[in-house]
Each structure stands twice: as C-alpha cells, then as structure tokens.
Amino acid sequence: MFKNVIVRVPSQTVSEGITSANEGKPDYRKALVQHENYVSALTKLGVDVTVLAPHDEFPDSCFVEDVALCTSKVAIITRPGALTRRKEAELPDMKEALEKFNQNIETIKEPGTVESGDIMMVGDHFYIGLSARTNQAGADQMIAILEKYGLSGEAVPLKEVLHLKTGLSYIENNNLLVSGEFKNDPRFDTFNKLEIDPDEAYGANCIWVNGTVIVASGYPKIQKKIEGLGYPVLNVDTSEYRKIDGGLSCLSLRF
C-alpha cells in the first residue's frame, strides 16, 4: 500500500519540454487542470500528496518520477540522462521532501545515468531499463544500492520505447500490462500478461494505487481488460503530457 505521493506543479514553460511525440505543444492551462485532476484522483485513493512548487527553468520538472526512486527502505536520487534535466535531481525542495519521509538517502554518481521512468518495482525486486536515459553504469549503481538494503534488481535492455514503463506497468497480484517489444520478452513470462494493442500503446502506462488502477482517459480496451481482473479504475486525462513524452507514472513519486 502507498501512504505518500510527491508531485510538482507544471511550470509555465511546460510547452518547451523534451518531446519526440510530434503532437504539438501542450497548453499550459490545460496541463494545470489535468495535473489538478491527477492529484485529486490520488487523494481519493487514500494517500497524502506533497505538492512541490513549479520551476520555470526546468520545463520537464513536473515529471518527478525520473529524479528519484522511493522504496520501503531507501530513497535514491538519480542522475537523469537528459542533460537539460540533470539539475532537477539537485533541487533542494525535492531533497527536503525525500528526507522528510526517508532516513536513508543515496545518490547515483557520474558516469551513471538513471531516470526512474526506467524502473519498475515488483515487490522487493526492481527491473531497470537500459535506455537512452539510463546507462549500464547507472543500472549497476542502482542495483548495488538496492542490494545494500536487502532489495534486488536486474537490467532490461530496451530497443524501442523511451522508458521501461512506457511499455510495462505492474498492477500487483502478478498482473502486468505489456506492449510492443515486451510481449515476447521471456523475463516476464511468469506474469499474467495483459497484452496491449498497438493503437492503445500509450495507455499501457497505468498506475496501481491501493487497489485501484489509474488509467489514462481514452483507452477503453485497456480499461476493460483491467476491470476484467476485478480492479476498480479511475480515468485521468494526460493528453497534454503525452505531447511531451509523459504519462501517468511520470507525474508522481509513490511510496
């Protein structure tokens, strides 16, 4: 169960965020409303939400998931692979928020790079995607830190997606949403896999929060499959964040 969530309000410069989506620039006011609805959905599910102030100098800083990994035993401050995002991990308010909830704080060091959009938690085990943003040195450091605290991890090479959780979402009880390159990956054969159709690939990024699954609005086939497993579903519109390569999990740290 999750007790706490950290989010950051999108900045007025959010339209300048990194993107490969080719879907136009996000509208700041719409992004604000969608973020407020996202926080509201989380609050309904029984978590306390810490809301950090926007930082206009960092257009992507609303995607707080990438700058830290929060586990039951340690919080790990990452070193983002995107150069324009690297200093986000050093922002004092994020460090203060992490220290409020975690006695143990560790940090990824150069030459390692890690963005936690590449990390999927399954119990005490963490799958770490090797991507353009997360390198082998970063994954090795992350695994060493996890093992120091009695946790475990393994690296997963990526071929197509930006981040591991672009194409995978673990929704507990051994249920895993899979799309694209992960459908036939033997690493995930022990899971009950819910395969996502290519036309709903973006919707594969869902988040489980205390028994409910939050699903991006507009992906009815995914929602039906999740509801078929007995999960309640909440819909949140993230269309403005899709324009800058962001999804549901990117917008929060959950622990």
Cis peptide preceding 186, ω within 30 of 0: no
Q: In the structure, what pLDDT confidence band is assigned to residue 118 with cuts at 50, 70 and 90?
A: very high
Q: Does the pTM exceed 0.75?
A: yes
Residue at token pair 């926007």: 54
Residues classed as catalytic: 163, 250
Q: Report the C-alpha gap between 60 and 14 in whole angstroms.
A: 6
Give the per-residue pLDDT at 20: 86
* Average of per-residue pLDDT across 134-157: 98
Residue 112 bridge partners (DSSP): none
Separation of alpha carbons 219 and 216, rounded Å: 7
Instruction: Determine the residue type at 113.
Output: T
CA distance linking residue 228 with residue 226, whole number of Å: 5
Q: Is 119 exposed, middle or buried (0-12, 13-18, 19+ CB in 10 A)?
A: buried
Total domains in the chain come to: 1
Residues of the domain holding 135: 4-254
pLDDT in tens, 88-98: 999 999 999 99
Q: How far apart are CA 213 and CA 230, in angstroms?
A: 10
Q: Which CATH number do you get for residue 73?
A: 3.75.10.10
In this predicted model, what pLDDT tens digit does every residue of 168-206 receive, in sequence order?
Answer: 999 999 999 999 999 999 999 999 999 999 999 999 999
